Amino acid sequence: MEEPKYKRPTKSEQTSCTWCRIGLLVFVLVLAITGPVWAFTIASCTSTRPCRIGQMLTFVEAECAEGGGARSEELLHGDICTLVCDDPNKRPTIPALQCIDGNASDAEMVQCVVPQVATGQVDATPTLASNAITEGEPRLVCAEAQYFVCEAAPGATSILIQLRRQTKAKCDQIFAECRILNSAFTFQEYLQSPAALAYEADPNNRTKMDAAMEDPGTCTLGCFVELFTSEQLANLQNEIQVASAEASGAFQMPEGQYSTTNYCGDNPGPACVRVQGLCDISQDGDFYKHPVCVSGQAQWSKIDGSMRIRYDGDERNGQAGKWLLETDVLDLLSSGYGSEVGRQPTFNPMPTLGSTIWNLKCRYPSNNGLGTYYIQYRTKILELVSCTCDSLIDCNGRGEAVGSKENGPNCVCECSPDRAGDSCEIPLCQVPGVMNSRQPACLEGNWIMPNGVCTPSCQEGYQSNHPSFTCTEDGAYLLPLGFTCDPIWVNQAPVDEFGNTPDAYEEATTTTPLECTDFDCVFHGTATGNRRADDSCECICDAGYTGPQCRSIIGDCLAPLHRNIPNSALSTCEEGSRPTMVCTARCAEMYYPVPATLDCQGTQLVPDKFRCFGGPSTEIQWCEITQIFSLIFSGLAFLGLLVACYTFQRNKARSFQNYLHHDKLVEGVSDVHGNYNVVRMTNGTEYHSKLPDHILAHDPREPPKDEASQSDEYENVSTFAPEQGLPSLQDDGTYTPDPRPSVGGLPGQVEQEVALALTAGPGLRKGAEAGGPWWGGVIVRNIVGRPELDGSHGWVLDYSHETGLYELDLEDVEILKMVPESSLEDVELAAETPAIMAAPGPQALDTNWLVNMRDLENKVEANRQERYKQFVPWHLLPLASEQAREETERNAKIKAALQETAPIRADLEGRLRMGLRTGDAEMLREAIAETYELLKQPYLAIAPPASLSSLKRVLETAESRLEQFDTIKESRQRAEDYAERVRTGRAADWKMTSAELLRHVADCNPGRVEAGLKAQLPVFLRTSEMRFTILHDACRDACLDEPGSEKAQNRVEVVRLLCEARANKNAVDMKDRTPLDYALEVGGPSTRRHPSVRALRKLGLRTALEAALEMRGESIEEWNGGMGDPQRVSKGDEVVVNIHEYP
């Protein structure tokens, strides 16, 4: 039975299967590369590992409020632990911990600290610097403070500038300017004055408005210094380790030998050492030097002997450090041990003072109710400094320290009024000022101790709204809030002749409650007549007020902008964009605000904005980053594989057609790879290609130069052979020229049979094949750089298949290496091949022509000079020689001038550079002038540019900088001149308001008034109370000024300016008083002959009567004529007083 034949797959089927395999390979590679990344992403984002917090809580001395034991040892994913410190006097730095994927949030920040107590000598209260500026012109203070240095202690704030009577906008402007000039300014505070707060409470009160404009508030600018960093802590630790290693063997004592007690008054060391930073704050304090030594070294102890610092002379116990801090000492005169509190890891004869590291044994009471305690070993930084009687430390900055500690605890605190105690540590409650009360409002005085009672003291006819008030523990305020003295309403009944009221003849009845009036609503609302459960009156508040008794002012503030507060919510206030009372801060998810609320005071939030802290945990951020990275990495891997597959895909199959070449048939046979690498001739031998792949891929032949490309016969042929013929290699190994032109159309890897044969090995045959032991004889042609070897005979010694170069032995000359085949010719082939058919070799590169050309040029130039000398007229020869001599002399003088002025030029250039470096304009100006004067010298002016290039370059730079400086200086001078013109009234003040103009008129400042009038400010305004005009304010105190004084002259000048501005000279107020009447009324009858009155009359000011008579065309004399007393005339029931008197 015939077996079935196997059917080979077609080419398309092979291609389809190949692409399927490539696609599968791409998928497997992408999965292999990105699979671990995706697995890690999923594991990192979905892990729910527990958090072990037991050791951490033990270290910080805290536990979870949700429960102790296991609940404080481990938290599950998502659980929250509310922290509670073991010491009731301490508070945790963060309120709670949350477990997220095995990590407790902010665990590294957890500590139990005493609230509101700074470590060491740190006091966050801003203090006034020694060189602080507290007065002066606001425009000059920043220039004066540009070289100030921050004097604050680490963690504290220092005030550098504090100016009163400044607005908030002006304070912000000063702070921005000072920040530009001095980067030390990092603190700003603005406090409104009581007058400004009173004006905000009653914006319609003109008097309060004037007071608020006179003193808007206080602007405070300063700086602060950060506490020491973790790097500083590490440096201290390293320094202590080095010192301990160096001194470890300095004080070795034999075992069992101890020093005896002796007098230590002469031993080195401070008389008193202050220790701060112990686990128990109550143990901090002053340690005084004891007169008796222990272990041969000085010791320091507290006055009560409860604790001491001493040198541990025991070799066995002092391995961890020689200086010991202990308590419960039984005898200060012995070297016995008490309860160890800590050791300093040093072995020096003196304890290391300053901020140093101590190994402490911290004892904390247990919560088992048995009175026991547990010990926790901690390493902390303690501060050991010399004691001083310092107000900031001994009196907590709340009083003045008086005395000294050199001979004992002789430092006493004189506390400020709001503090009490030995160290001024007790805050007192200040008794507020209460209307209708006595001074002070409490019988106990102006200050009440914490938990103390204030007994109200109201004036007669008034009583307190509460029988007593209690001061809070922190001394912040008195409880209950709202201390007032209300009037006692008593109905005054008529009294008869016996002194009895009608109630005396009637039976007693229940007293009727008093009726609610607008007084109960502080005149900021209307009383409804009803009372609440607490017996307070119900009020309907007016616009702008709120609260039970309409005491609170409704503000109109703008919520902070979202773009100004990083990580805040889109709506920064829960109350909306315009809060009226308070703004409850809102932050983005996972953030919390500090502070939580902002108070609305008028139109300003206090503080003006908040900050958002917190944010997503590290695990969440890492998860998001990993997810993004996995997606990007997977996409890049996929794209990279696609590009690789497209780049390395198989080339498109070529098509080839057999053709006749003269009398032979040329066929293309495919090899095993599908490429046309074999050419077989008819009835001939197959010549297989042995060229390397990188040569097969490149076709070095020239483009076709015949008409073969125009024929349809060669449309599938990719390349063509060159026109010239190539020698062919016969079967016997000899070369014969081929007269026929080469034919294009062969595949790109094969050109002709001879090309295939020549690339298989060296073109020159071995001597053994030619009948000799050596390689064949050759003739050298066209050796680059060796034209003398052209035509020399030699023998081939070796051939390199890697480089394709030969090694030759020339006859009686030398051995040449690295000779290309193109420069060699076979002796036999040269004898048989005509010269016209010899293969053209590369052109030799000869560089000798360049040298020859230069020699020829030199000869030509010499001949030209010789001809010039021959043909120059004889009468011009002396002139030419004279010019050459002058040229030589000028060059010599230029060189001498350059050498002579070299030190001066170096000095000028140095001064120019120094002036540029330091910004000294005067130095630059002088140096530039001297430099120009120097360059004006005759021979320096014509010197070569290269010799003065450095000086001229620095000179041009200095001129440019000086020009910039002068321009800026002129600009500033123009601004100052303009400000001075505005101040003196020579220019208009376009920023002045009508209120400021009124204030300048009242202050009799003619310059500022003239500046405001030039700015076209109106002069026809009136006050809302008495309908005063601007001239009323100007003339009010005219009769009170000292005659002939500067103020009196300024006042008259102000009135003149207002009159020229067309102010109404004789306008009347609500009482029909002209400005002159108002001035005479304020001054009194005795001031009618005041010089200012005569000056005002000259300006056209009249009394109301005089103005009326002038309007009617009458005079005072005519009106008073024939009517009796010229000074007093009775007219009906009206008495008219004539105060018109002539000078």
* Beta carbons of 1090 and 1043 less than 8 angstroms apart: yes
**pLDDT > 50? residue 833:** no
Q: 386 — alpha (psi -120 to 50), left (phi > 0) or beta?
A: beta
**pLDDT > 50? residue 121:** no
Q: Which residue has the higher pLDDT, 19 or 950?
A: 950
Q: Which residue has the higher pLDDT, 233 or 4?
A: 233
- For residue 225, the 8-state DSSP code is B
Cα separations in angstroms, 111 against 60, 549, 586, 618: 5, 45, 27, 20
Residue type for 944, please? P
Q: Give the whole-angstrom CA distance, residue 23 versus residue 234.
A: 58
Q: Quick one: CA dihedral 1064, 1065, 1066, 1072, positive or negative?
A: positive
**pLDDT > 60? residue 1133:** no
Least confident piece of the model among 472-476, 524-528, 550-554, 885-889: 550-554
Neighbours of 269 (CB within 10 A): 17
Q: Which two tokens stand for residue 1061?
A: 């501005």
Residue 669: band (very low, low, confident or very high) from pLDDT cuts 50, 70, 90: low
* Beta carbons of 41 and 89 less than 8 angstroms apart: no
Q: What is the pLDDT of residue 27?
A: 75
Q: 547 — alpha (psi -120 to 50), left (phi > 0) or beta?
A: left
Closest CA to 484 of 520, 518, 511: 520
Q: 120 — alpha (psi -120 to 50), left (phi > 0) or beta?
A: left
Neighbours of 716 (CB within 10 A): 11
**pLDDT > 80? residue 644:** no
Q: What is the pLDDT of residue 736?
A: 45
- For residue 349, the 8-state DSSP code is S
Q: Which residue has the higher pLDDT, 250 or 1094?
A: 1094
The stretch 277-305 carries a mean pLDDT of 83
pLDDT digits (tens, 9 = 90+) for 192-250: 888 888 888 888 888 888 888 888 998 988 887 755 555 655 665 565 455 444 433 33
Q: What is the pLDDT of residue 1053?
A: 92
Neighbours of 3 (CB within 10 A): 5
Q: Give the whole-angstrom CA distance, residue 828 versus residue 296.
A: 113
Q: Which residue has the higher pLDDT, 510 or 191?
A: 191
Domains 51-113 and 428-490 share a fold: yes
Closest CA to 516 of 528, 507, 508, 504: 528
Q: Which residue has the higher pLDDT, 282 or 69?
A: 282
Q: Which residue has the higher pLDDT, 797 or 569?
A: 569
Neighbours of 135 (CB within 10 A): 8
The H-or-E segment that residue 285 falls in is strand 285-289
Q: What is the pLDDT of residue 530?
A: 83
Closest CA to 293 of 273, 305, 270, 310: 310
**pLDDT > 80? residue 848:** no
- How many helical (H) and strand (E) elements, i.e. helices and strands, does the chain have? 27, 56
Q: Is residue 793 classed as helix, strand or coil in its secondary structure? A: strand
pLDDT digits (tens, 9 = 90+) for 909-929: 999 999 888 888 899 899 999
Vertex 1120: Cα angle to 1116 and 1121 (nearest 5): 110
Q: Is residue 1076 classed as helix, strand or coil in its secondary structure? A: helix
Residue type for 375, please? I
Q: What is the pTM of this model?
A: 0.27
Least confident piece of the model among 177-186, 700-709, 860-869: 700-709
pLDDT above 90: percentage of residues in the chain:
4
Q: What is the pLDDT of residue 907?
A: 92
* Beta carbons of 1041 and 1003 less than 8 angstroms apart: no
* Beta carbons of 309 and 301 less than 8 angstroms apart: yes
CATH number corresponding to 428-490: 2.10.70.10
Q: Give the whole-angstrom CA distance, residue 963 versus residue 463.
A: 77
Q: Which CATH architecture has domain 51-113?
A: Ribbon (2.10)
Across the chain, which distance is largest between two alpha carbons, in Å? Answer: 177
The chain-wide mean pLDDT, for the chain, equals 74
Closest CA to 1052 of 1042, 1038, 1065, 1033: 1038
Q: What is the pLDDT of residue 729?
A: 38
Q: Give the whole-angstrom CA distance, residue 1112 versus residue 611.
A: 72
Residue 710: band (very low, low, confident or very high) from pLDDT cuts 50, 70, 90: very low
Q: Give the whole-angstrom CA distance, residue 239 versus residue 259.
A: 29
Q: What is the pLDDT of residue 1137?
A: 39
Q: Give the whole-angstrom CA distance, residue 43 versus residue 37.
A: 10
CATH superfamily of 985-1137: Ankyrin repeat-containing domain (1.25.40.20)
Residue 16: band (very low, low, confident or very high) from pLDDT cuts 50, 70, 90: low
Residue type for 289, please? K
pLDDT digits (tens, 9 = 90+) for 984-1001: 888 888 989 988 999 999
Tell whether omega for the bond before 440 is within 30 degrees of 0, i.e. cis: yes
pLDDT digits (tens, 9 = 90+) for 1008-1048: 999 999 888 998 888 887 888 989 989 988 888 888 889 88
Which residue reads 């550079």 in tokens? 913
pLDDT digits (tens, 9 = 90+) for 397-449: 888 888 877 767 778 888 888 888 888 888 888 888 788 888 888 988 888 99
Residue 827: band (very low, low, confident or very high) from pLDDT cuts 50, 70, 90: low
Closest CA to 928 of 947, 902, 948, 956: 956
pLDDT digits (tens, 9 = 90+) for 130-179: 888 888 888 888 988 888 888 777 667 788 899 988 988 888 889 888 98
Q: Locate the domains of the chain by residue range.
A: 51-113, 127-224, 230-250+259-387, 428-490, 514-548, 562-614, 659-706+714-837, 891-980, 985-1137
First to last CA, the chain: 161
Residue type for 123, please? D
Q: What distance lies between CA 510 and its chain's CA centroid?
A: 73
Q: Which residue has the higher pLDDT, 56 or 272?
A: 272
Q: Which fold has domain 562-614?
A: Complement Module; domain 1 (2.10.70)
**pLDDT > 60? residue 693:** no
Vertex 909: Cα angle to 907 and 915 (nearest 5): 100
